Amino acid sequence: MDLRAPSPHRLINGRCVRPLASAAMDVEIAIRTRRTHKAYASKPVARETLSELLDLARWAPNHNLTNPWRFRVVGPKALERLKLAAGPEAATKLDRAPSLVVCSAALSGDELTDEEDLHATANAAYIVLLAAHSRGLVGYWRTPGVLRTPEGQRAVGLEPNERFVGLLYLGHPVQEQSPPERAPAADVITFLD
């Protein structure tokens, strides 16, 4: 697959190095070149940029327009509480990225709506990662055990009706990341008669 982008966008080692415009091809490049990064520069993501990413996430598809997604940008005090809840070993992994966002879904208790709202929230989380990538940032969707515990959920203020979906790590890149294998398209696509 030829991933070369039309001017002014360029790909270096498979990574799009210019912000995206609105053309469909640019979206395809972003989708193909976004990678999970687990190492970051120390510089935090600007608050304004975080606001842009989370604002964009609201445009995820959403049945019945329930707006189920919730995002909490983790500040220094919340990070300390979360690290305390995680314990010393797991806490070190929470220091990897300069910016962390807890993504959760506010659920109603209706089984079908909740299933769809979880899907919608996962889409919203992906938008955050994709939009971060399009701005030259990198990220990582993590599901650490601490955020499945009552202590961890309390540390970041999750309400009883909220389901934890992902802890989004965001930051500036320090290295290239090679793409992990995907199953060939033919293995997962069926055109039904």
Ligand X SMILES: Cc1cc2nc3c(=O)[nH]c(=O)nc-3n(C[C@H](O)[C@H](O)[C@H](O)COP(=O)(O)O)c2cc1C
Least spacing, CB of residue 104 vs ligand X, in Å: 13
Least spacing, CB of residue 27 vs ligand X, in Å: 16
Question: Residue 70 contacts by C-beta under 8 Å, 6 or more apart in sequence?
Answer: 103, 104, 105, 106, 162
Contact flags string 134-163 toward ligand X, x per CB under 6 A: -------xxx--------------------
Where in 25-184 does DSSP place strands (E)? Answer: 69-73, 99-106, 138-142, 162-171
Query: Within a 10 A sphere around the Cβ of 138, how many other Cβ atoms?
Result: 26
Cα gap 149→175, rounded to integer Å: 33
Single residue of 9, 15, 35, 70 touching ligand X by CB under 6 A: 35
Least spacing, CB of residue 8 vs ligand X, in Å: 25
Q: Diameter of the chain by CA atoms?
A: 57
Toward ligand X, which CB reaches closer, 98 or 144?
144
Toward ligand X, which CB reaches closer, 7 or 74?
74
Contact flags string 89-128 toward ligand X, x per CB under 6 A: ----------------------------------------
Q: Does 180 engage in binding with ligand X (CB under 6 A)?
A: yes
Toward ligand X, which CB reaches closer, 110 or 176?
176
Least spacing, CB of residue 39 vs ligand X, in Å: 12
Q: Does 133 engage in binding with ligand X (CB under 6 A)?
A: no
Question: Residue 20 contacts by C-beta under 8 Å, 6 or more apart in sequence?
Answer: 9, 26, 27, 29, 30, 134
Question: Residue 144 contacts by C-beta under 8 Å, 6 or more apart in sequence?
Answer: 86, 90, 93, 94, 152, 167
Least spacing, CB of residue 192 vs ligand X, in Å: 27
Q: Using CB under 6 A as the criterion, which residues of the chain lie in contact with ligand X when the complex forms?
A: 35-36, 141-143, 166, 180
